Chain A
Amino acid sequence: MEMVALAPPAPGRLEDLRRRFFATPLQAILSLICLAIMVFLAWKLLNWAVFSAVFTTTGGPEACQAAAGACWSVIAARWRIILFGLYPYDEQWRSALACLTVVVMTVLSCIPAFWTGRRIAIVWGAGTTLFYVLMKGGMLGLPYVGEEAWGGLALTLFIFVTTCLIGFPLAICLALLRRSELPWISRTTGLIIDAVRSLPLISILFTFAIVLPFALPQWLIGDKLYRVIVGSALFFSAYQAEIVRGGMQGVPAGQEEAAMALGMSYRQRIGRILLPQAMRNALPATINQFVISFKETSLVVIVGFFEILASGNAAYGTGEWRFAYVEVYAFIAFIYFVFVFSLSRYGAFLERRMSVGER
């Protein structure tokens, strides 16, 4: 990027350049230091990732290991493991299609035309159902694939989507309960929210995956995957509840009083007056929370799931590709980056747009 700014200095722009980067000696030194650091790092990275890297599988792992730069052939050879994990090889197109469903669903819910409670619910409900049917099969002529065989990106996305799907309504419930005028209800809810917020997500996942089955009757235990999702949804909702509550506090009290004076019922006041405005206030923070919880799905690897990080481990975990773990991690980081970066850019865009609207 700095190249674009510097490269073809047309005659008239030289002066402009001087003023922007070399106005005072101090500024000039600062600029030069920054430039040196950035060029150095960019060169190192490019050299490793592109110029000295091996991209084809033709030479096999040995030739790749000998190369000075990155060995991307491990990705070429094992990308299906990384993206789809243990999913049956011949059915992996379903897994890919399911991932695409999630992407489409996310893009749709970024469009303001879908920002009513009902439409969002329909998009996410339909999307998740489609995802589930595609992944699990057992109907419509698709062979059955149990949850234990799900893996890679599809599992990461599934955990993320279901976490949001369960966590969001739960967050609204918790926020409303915390706002309740009945002191014991609001205090107990506050206690639960604060407690969950001060626990590390790992400990919650661990508890739900391993400890909870002891404390549940047999018929309620269910698959480990769903318990972990419930745990992560609980964690998500504790954070999101505070965001929603913040949004509610931004709605002037007069509005609710006016609604009450008009004789609206509790449900009408909440559903028609309070929530729509609160959600709008809380939108940037909400997207930020989505971003964070997407990144945090990476933690389920610690409770033994074959999500993208673990399937990455398996991808370089065979004899011949042992050395190429940096490349695998870089690939996974890149996948995360693409998802998270676009989401957070969108959040920043939204924030700017909304702050313009306020002025």
Chain B
Amino acid sequence: MKMMKWGAAAMALGLVHLAAPAQAAGGKTLDTVKARGMLNCTGHDGSYLGFAEVDDKGNWKGMDIDLCKAVATAVFGDPAKLKVVPISWAQRWPSLQSGDVDIIIKASGGTLSRNTELGLQFSMSYYLGTTKVMAHKELNLKSLKDANGGTICIPAGTSQEQQVAAYTQKIGIKLEPVVIEKTEELEQAYFSGRCDLYAQWGPVLAIARVAKGKVEDHVILPDVLAVEPEVMIVRQGDDNWLNIANWTLTALTFAEQEGINSKNVDEIKAKPTSPQVAKFLGVTPGMGKGLGLPDDWAYNVIKKVGNYGEIFDRDLGKDSPYKMDRELTNLWNNGGVLFPLVID
């Protein structure tokens, strides 16, 4: 009886394989998402402070989560239509490739091998971070070169692993790596003195130092191991879905550039300051059609999630516990590297 079922299942599988050769996954992500009624976006298995963390009431918050919300709002006009799937670092790529998530927004950089070997595609950068190293103050290190023979904590399965290996080889020192996957365990290892050094993506390092409480006990060394532009990541072969990611980002930065935020967006929509803004907020048509979205999608994003500056302030900047400066993560006209594409 049982084996009959198995046989039937096998045959069904075979038939599916023969009958439907080029189905969903790579093709029509937007249709899949719309049909599901939810955007599946990446979360974290625990907390990644500032980017994906869980508050007292069990709600997700953070920069990456807000960007997920922005994409969900662009598609559905409602940030609640977001399903945050908790995944670990090591599962990012398989989860996207297998369709468990529709988009990865998880402090992940664009690299050659991810692009050409994993079959992934990147949006514009939403955060330009540098990989840096923090050290215990009492070691009196001036730069990483002084740390020869020391122990360094590195997050497992991230590009930092390769960056540390490459950088130490370049400056000719040898470090003993301690590679742990869960951020909480990794930071405990550093703060408890298991490691002399802690290599991490810059903002996370700064947040960890603030969150630990005693900022002055730890120094962030001047060495820049690598520059990593963090990007939204989608599967290859679905141009429309990549366009949506890119234009969502542009909507956030464009709104900040034009001074449109969640509070004044209704006023400005009633009285657009320029033809571009009118188009941007969906007063005049053209913003959504080519993307397969409604014309007022950008208005929804700004109204319900906020512009880039608001997101940054809320999650990392002055309204957050971490009080980070914008530095490079600012608009081009404020000394940063962010810029919107042109809305014409």
Q: Do chains A and B touch in the complex (CB under 8 A)?
A: yes
User: Taking beta carbons and an 8 Å cutoff, which residues of A are in contact with B?
Assistant: 77-78, 80-81, 84-89, 92, 146, 148-149, 151, 173, 177, 185, 209-211, 213-214, 217-219, 221, 224, 301-306, 310-311, 313-314, 316-319, 322, 325
Q: Report whether A89 and B58 are in contact in the complex, using a CB–CB cutoff of 8 Å.
A: yes
Q: Report whether A214 and B212 are in contact in the complex, using a CB–CB cutoff of 8 Å.
A: no
- Near A by CB (< 8 A), chain B positions 52-109 give 53-60, 83-88, 91, 94-95, 97-100
- Residues from chain B with a CB closer than 8 A to the CB of A211 are 94
Q: Report whether A214 and B97 are in contact in the complex, using a CB–CB cutoff of 8 Å.
A: yes
Q: Tell me the minimal C-beta distance from A329 to chain B in angstroms.
A: 11
Alpha-carbon separation in the docked complex, A154 to B162 (Å):
38
Given contact pairs A217-B20, A224-B100, A317-B184, enumerate 18 new A-B contacts (beta carbons under 8 Å): A80-B56, A86-B60, A86-B84, A86-B86, A89-B58, A148-B83, A148-B86, A149-B58, A210-B95, A210-B98, A218-B24, A218-B25, A218-B99, A306-B86, A310-B46, A313-B184, A317-B47, A319-B49
Known: A304-B88, A314-B47. A218 touches B23 (CB 8 A): yes
Q: Tell me the minimal C-beta distance from B26 to chain A in angstroms.
A: 11
Q: When the two chains form the complex, which single residue of B16, B20, B53 contacts A314, counting CB atoms closer than 8 Å?
A: B53
Q: Report whether A306 and B83 are in contact in the complex, using a CB–CB cutoff of 8 Å.
A: no
Known: A210-B94, A303-B91, A306-B86. A314 touches B54 (CB 8 A): yes
Known: A148-B86, A310-B46. A213 touches B99 (CB 8 A): yes
Summed over the interface, the residue pairs from A and B with CB atoms below 8 Å come to a total of 115
User: Taking beta carbons and an 8 Å cutoff, which residues of B are in contact with A?
Assistant: 2-3, 13, 16-17, 20, 23-25, 38, 43, 45-47, 49, 53-60, 83-88, 91, 94-95, 97-100, 182-184, 187-188, 191, 210-213, 321
Q: Report whether A310 and B86 are in contact in the complex, using a CB–CB cutoff of 8 Å.
A: yes
Q: Tell me the minimal C-beta distance from A179 to chain B in angstroms.
A: 14
The residue on A at minimum CB distance from B187 is A322
Q: Report whether A303 and B98 are in contact in the complex, using a CB–CB cutoff of 8 Å.
A: no
Q: Report whether B25 and A322 are in contact in the complex, using a CB–CB cutoff of 8 Å.
A: no
Closest 5 CB pairs of A and B: A213-B98, A317-B47, A319-B211, A89-B57, A313-B46
Q: Report whether B58 and A319 are in contact in the complex, using a CB–CB cutoff of 8 Å.
A: no
Alpha-carbon separation in the docked complex, A92 to B95 (Å):
28
Listed by A's residue number, 10 A-B pairs whose Cβ atoms lie within 8 Å are: A78-B56, A81-B58, A85-B58, A89-B57, A146-B38, A224-B100, A304-B45, A310-B46, A310-B86, A319-B213
- Residues from chain B with a CB closer than 8 A to the CB of A214 are 94, 97-98
Alpha-carbon separation in the docked complex, A217 to B87 (Å):
22
Alpha-carbon separation in the docked complex, A185 to B182 (Å):
43
The residue on B at minimum CB distance from A321 is B211
Q: From A77, A88, A302, name the one whose CB has the most chain B CB atoms within 10 angstroms.
A: A302
Q: Report whether B46 and A224 are in contact in the complex, using a CB–CB cutoff of 8 Å.
A: no
Q: Tell me the minimal C-beta distance from B80 to chain A in angstroms.
A: 11
Q: Tell me the minimal C-beta distance from A290 to chain B in angstroms.
A: 24
Q: Report whether B53 and A317 are in contact in the complex, using a CB–CB cutoff of 8 Å.
A: yes
Known: A148-B83, A210-B98, A218-B24. A316 touches B184 (CB 8 A): yes
Q: From B3, B49, B95, B184, name the one whose CB has the most chain A CB atoms within 10 angstroms.
A: B184
Q: From B54, B60, B97, B213, name the one whose CB has the most chain A CB atoms within 10 angstroms.
A: B54
Q: Tell me the minimal C-beta distance from A160 to chain B in angstroms.
A: 19
Q: Report whether A317 and B49 are in contact in the complex, using a CB–CB cutoff of 8 Å.
A: yes
Q: Report whether A304 and B86 are in contact in the complex, using a CB–CB cutoff of 8 Å.
A: yes
Alpha-carbon separation in the docked complex, A221 to B36 (Å):
14
- Residues from chain B with a CB closer than 8 A to the CB of A88 are 57-58
Q: Tell me the minimal C-beta distance from A89 to chain B in angstroms.
A: 4
